[in-house]
Structure 1
Amino acid sequence: MTGYPGEVFNPNLTVPRVQVLVALASGLDLKLPKNPEQVLQQTYQDAEQIPQWAVEKVAAATQAGLVVNYPETSTLNPNQPATRAEVSALIYQALVESDKAEPISSEYIVKPQK
C-alpha cells in the first residue's frame, strides 16, 4: 500500500469504501475479470457511482468474495465513508480469500452472478 503524495499520513481522514476495496484487491493481487463493467452492472444497482479508476479492482474484489454489504448486497455505496465494522468485514473476507481464515456464512457477502 502507498499513502498520499509527499509521504503524508492523514489518520483523521475518512476512507471511502471504494478505496478499501481497491487497497485489498491490489494487496492480494487479485485476478482482474475480463469484463469488469459487466460484473459490476450485474451485481450492484449503484455501479455507475464507482469511479472509473476503481472499476477493475472493485470487480476483482467482488468476484473474489471480498465484498460485504449491509443491509442490501446489491448496493455498494462506493463513495460512502467506510465504517470500522465494514473494514473489519472486508479484511476478514480478504483473510478468507488468502486461506488464513475460515469462511463464515452470511447473507451479506456479495455473490456475483456467474
Structure 2
Amino acid sequence: MIQRFEVGPRMSELAVHDGVAYLAGQVPEDASQDIAGQTRQVLEAIDALLAQAGSDKTKILRAQIFLADAADFAGMNQAWDAWVVPGHTPPRATVQAVLAKPEWKVEIVVTAAV
C-alpha cells in the first residue's frame, strides 16, 4: 500500500511505502532570506512532513541537497549543523544545480524510515 500526503495535481509532498517515507524536494516559502534562512525554512518543512509520516529527522536514511550557488555551501551547512541530531547525521550529497525558481537558493530531498 502507498500512502500519499499533500497530494496536488502535479505531485505529492510525501509518499510512504513499506515503512519508508519519500519526500518531494522542499524549497523555501520566503525566498527573500539568505541561504541560512532559506535552509532553516526547508528543514522546518522537512520536520513537518516527517511528523505527518510518523517519523523524524533521526530516521533520515539519506539527504540530497541542491544549491543554486556552491558559494552558499558554508551558510547552508551552518543551518544544517544546527538542525541535525548528533549521532544521527544521515548520508548526504550536495550538488550545485539550476533550481526551478531563480530566487531559491536551496532544495532538499530526504528519504526516511517510518
Give the TM bin, normalised by the shorter chain: under 0.3
Give the structure with the higher percent strand. Answer: 2
TM-score calculated relative to the size of structure 1 = 0.26
In the superposition, the TM-score normalised over structure 2's length comes to 0.26
User: Which of the pair is proportionally richer in helix?
Assistant: 1
